[in-house]
Amino acid sequence: MVKPEELMGKVSVVNGKYKLKGTFHISEPNQPIFNAETGKLAGITNPRDMTYIHSYGGEALFFESIAKGILMGTRCDNEKCEFKGSIYQPFRIYCPDCLRKMTPVDMKGMKAKVYSFIITARSGAFNSLKLPIKFINIEFDGVSTILMGYLSVGEPEIGMEVVPIFNTKKPTYTIVDLSWVPAGTPESELPENFTF
Ligand SMILES: [Zn+2]
Span from the CA of 100 to the centroid of ligand 1 (angstroms) = 6
pLDDT at 57: 93
Span from the CA of 99 to the centroid of ligand 1 (angstroms) = 6
Span from the CA of 51 to the centroid of ligand 1 (angstroms) = 37
pLDDT at 69: 97
What is the end-to-end Cα distance of the chain in Å, rounded?
31
10-residue mean pLDDT series, the chain (196 residues): 83 95 90 97 93 94 97 97 96 96 95 97 91 97 95 97 97 97 97 96
Span from the CA of 18 to the centroid of ligand 1 (angstroms) = 33
Span from the CA of 13 to the centroid of ligand 1 (angstroms) = 32
Dist. CA 92–CA 102, nearest whole Å: 8
Give the burial class of 110: count Cβ atoms within 10 A of its Cβ; 0-12 exposed, 13-18 middle, 19 or more buried: middle
Span from the CA of 139 to the centroid of ligand 1 (angstroms) = 21
Span from the CA of 82 to the centroid of ligand 1 (angstroms) = 7
Q: Which residues contact 175 (CB under 8 A, 6 or more apart)?
A: 63, 66
pLDDT at 196: 95
Span from the CA of 149 to the centroid of ligand 1 (angstroms) = 25
Domain ranges in the chain?
Answer: 5-50, 57-195
One-letter amino acid at 61 equals L
